[in-house]
Amino acid sequence: MINAKFDNVKTVLKFHKQIVEQQEEAHGKHYCQMHQAIKRFWSEGECKKYMELGTHQGGSASNAMMLDPTPKKITLIDIDMSRYNSVLKPIAEKHCHSNKIELDVRETSSIGFAAVEGTDMLVIDSVHKAGWMQQELDLHGKNVRKYIVAHDTKRLFDQVDEQLHHTLVEWGKRNKFILVDRGEASVGYTVIARK
């Protein structure tokens, strides 16, 4: 994934627009289609708490800050928050304060105890390896009340690679989650829901 360059960004909306434009120019038209799935299931599922593993610069995080209904809490997890801190952090803090969103940013491993949190929706976009995702699912899955959404479940590193999709779906079958959506354009995404 590219590191986007930002020009005079002062709002979450402008940040999100710029990062999506740059990511889709670099990686293909539907690279960020997961954002639309998040919006759809968030509103349908009457969710209140959002959690993300693998924040990087904050493309999905900025999407979460504009969800309707407004989240009560957003938890962001990444082992290195320096890219998030460099641009989005001050904008996000101002936005979340104005919209009464509790913003919880943790610089920690997604498979460590410090990352554990109850949530309605968990978004996984961290280490793109099946074994790592399995550890994340085993640690966090029991704390997810409604949806788990994963990015990059069709293609990895410009090649078809569905290991993350299969890991998520198989874990779901063992843990009372069902497949409810799958995007296969660009890198793809997968959504499972608690039964």
Cis peptide before 69 (omega within 30 of 0): yes
Residue 101 phi/psi, 5-degree rounding, is -100, 125
Enumerate residue ranges in the chain where pLDDT < 70: none
Task: Give me the pLDDT at residue 2, please.
Answer: 78
Task: Give me the pLDDT at residue 158, please.
Answer: 85
Contact assessment for residue 169 and residue 149, using Cβ atoms and an 8 Å cutoff? no
Task: Give me the pLDDT at residue 3, please.
Answer: 87
Question: What does the mean pLDDT of the chain come to?
Answer: 96
Task: Give me the pLDDT at residue 4, please.
Answer: 86
Count of alpha carbons within 13 angstroms of residue 81, beta-carbon side: 18
Task: Give me the pLDDT at residue 121, please.
Answer: 98
Task: Give me the pLDDT at residue 183, please.
Answer: 97
The CA distances from residue 112 to 60, 64, 73, 81, 164, in Å, are 21, 23, 20, 16, 20
Q: pLDDT digit string (tens) for 109-157?
A: 999 999 999 999 999 999 999 999 999 999 999 999 999 999 999 999 8
Intra-chain end-to-end CA distance of the chain, in Å = 33
Task: Give me the pLDDT at residue 88, please.
Answer: 97
Task: Give me the pLDDT at residue 47, please.
Answer: 97
Residue 47 phi/psi, 5-degree rounding, is -80, 155
Alpha-carbon 34 to chain mean position: 8
